[in-house]
Every structure is written in C-alpha cells, then in structure tokens.
Copies of this chain bind each other. A is one copy, B any other.
Amino acid sequence: MKKQSHITLADIAGRLGVSRVTVSKALRGHPDISDGMSKKIRRVASELGYSPNRMARNLSARRSHLLGLVVPKIAHFFFGSVIESVYAKALEHKYETILMVSHENEEQEIQHLQTLVSMRVDGIIISVSARLKDTRIYDWVRQMGIPLLFMDRIPDPQPKGSTAVLVDDYGGSMKAIEQALAAGHTTIACIGGDTNVNIGRNRVQGYMDALTRHGLDIKKEWIIAGGYGTDVGYHGFMQLLELGPLPRCIFTVTYPIALGVYAAAKARKIRIPEDVDVICFGDSDVGGLLTPALSCVNQPTQRLGEESVKLIMEMIEHPDSVPPGNRIIPTEVIVRETCVARGNRPLSSVLGGQGRA
C-alpha cells in the first residue's frame, strides 16, 4: 500500500512564508502574482519535485480536462488509427483521453460509460458496440450534463437530439459496387453487417441500391450478414460456396471480413481475382501488401478522429452553439489489384449491353 505523502501547495507555501493560494496562482500562471514571486515559487516547486494533484484540482475546479473515448476494439487498424488521432487532437486542446474498450459487449459499454461519468470527464466520444441496444444509457449520460458524441457507429434508434460524426457508409458502398461493375462484374455478393448498427445497415443498403440503380437483380442468398470480423468473412465465403456457383465478385462490409475471404479462398484454392474478385469497405496498412493487393473504399480515420474531437470540444465549451445532427465524412475508392476496371472504358459502356445478370 502506498503511504508516500506527496508534496503539497502548503509545503511550498511554508518554505516561502506565503499562502497556499499564492502558490496555486503562481503555478498556474495567474496574472495576480508578481514575476519575482512567481519565479521563486516555481523554483522551489521543482526543487521539491512537486506534482500537482489532479484529482484535487479537478474536484475543486469542477472541470477535469478529461475526454472519454469508448470503442469496441483496439487491435484493429481502423480503431487503432482513430484512437491515435483522437489522442493527438485532444492533447492539442490540453485534454487527456480516457480510453475504454467495450469488446462489442453491451454490458461493458454501459459500465464504461458509468465509469466515465463517475470520473467526471468533460465529454465523451463513443463508437457503440454492434449489439442491440437499450439506448437509455446515452440519454442518462447527457442528463448528467456530459456532452456525448457518436462516432462512426451510432445506436439504432438514434437518440433524439444527438450528434454524430460519421463516414459516408452508404455512398462509399455504392462507389465500391460501381467499381466492381466497372470491372465487368454483374454477379456480386455482400458479406457482413447486421441491422442493429448504422454502418452495417447503410453499407448493405448502398450495395443493394447500387445494384438496382444499375439494373441488376438482388439475390437474397448472396447477402450474408453476421457481423464485422475476420471469421464472418471466412464462414461467409464457405457458405457462398455451398450455395452453388460463386458470384464473380464479393463486396465485404469491412476490411477484416475481406481478410477472412482471402483466407477462405486460399484454403479452398480459389484464386483471387481470377476465380472470384473482392472489394471491401475499409482499409488497413497491409491492404496493399496482400496478394492480390486489395481494392477498397478507404475510411478517413484521421479526419474522423480530428473532426470528432473538434466537435466535442465545441460541445464542451459552448453547449448551445452546436446544433445536433450528423456530420458525414466522404470516402474514396482506392483501386489496387482487385476489381480493376477493364481498359479505359467508362462505367456506362462497361455496363452497356449487359442488361440484367
């Protein structure tokens, strides 16, 4: 057990024969204190190895300069990048970030939220877990007077008056499908997602709408839901295989799913892109190093993190100046070695004359 008694303001004050308040002010650069005094105080403080007690400071100041961040996972490129970006941006605003991992588990998420409230963080950014949610917890957080911002993943139904920073899932998926079409594919399956969370729903919707918009049929068996992880891709591919002849192309709702598809194809000795082509939503640092290099719709992770921090800071400083609603960040297609468009023919001519699949 720790018993080490730390240096306090009183210790410094005693040494110089001034009051604690003077020391407190000096150390925080308050203009009240004269330069000479200030210097003396700082010197003594550092001599004594003074470390201000943030708990005490926060308690007294009713302000923690702490930002809560809740995500479902860490060890994944997408979240890892977003987290780094949030940390960096928050630091620019002199905020420390308290990270919590829900492991896609609703109970843990609720508990983490309670903990963050308990810690009296000044604001919370959350990417909700992929489970069906009782969204009351989010309202509770806001009732406790803590600004809450949804990032990338929002609960369904989205709480009234809530604010979110999102990636253009719908539009991005359409772009992905259009890339597949440009590559000459007319039979395209979709693996991943679920209906509880916006990202899955919107990406699948984008897939479907792109198909119908271009006059293609939607084959229900070729829409394989189930989640967002590598396993979903692996098993989804196997399932597709049992269904009969493979589609010419597979669109996956996340990058890890595509990885699973690669693994399954490799296991079954099915070649990509010759036998079946792949394109996915989301990128990673190794996307370009796979063989074949995976084409994708990239998610602007850095921007997502930065915009979110910027917005939550606004919400903290000027709660009423931020109108609720969703901010959507656009995406772009990165074409590598899968789903490569044929020649230079524009999309329309590639599609021309193919009619329905």
Contact = CB atoms under 8 A, between A and B. Distances in A.
Contacts of A122: 2
Copies of this protein, total: 2
A115 interface: yes
Contact of A55 (B52, B83, B120): B120
A230 interface: yes
A119 B289 contact: no
B96 A115 contact: yes
Contacts of A117: 51
A250 interface: no
Contact of A289 (B80, B143, B263): B263
A151 B338 CA distance: 40
Interface string A201-245: 000000000000000000000000000001000000000000000
A6 B96 contact: no
A87 interface: yes
A64 B58 CA distance: 14
Interface string A80-96: 11011001100000001
Interface stretch (A69-77, A167-175, A181-189, A346-354): A69-77
A49 interface: yes
Nearest to A85: B75
A357 interface: no
A138 interface: no
Contacts of A158: none
14 contacts: A1-B316, A49-B144, A51-B144, A53-B118, A54-B120, A55-B55, A74-B83, A74-B84, A75-B81, A75-B83, A75-B84, A84-B101, A230-B285, A266-B289
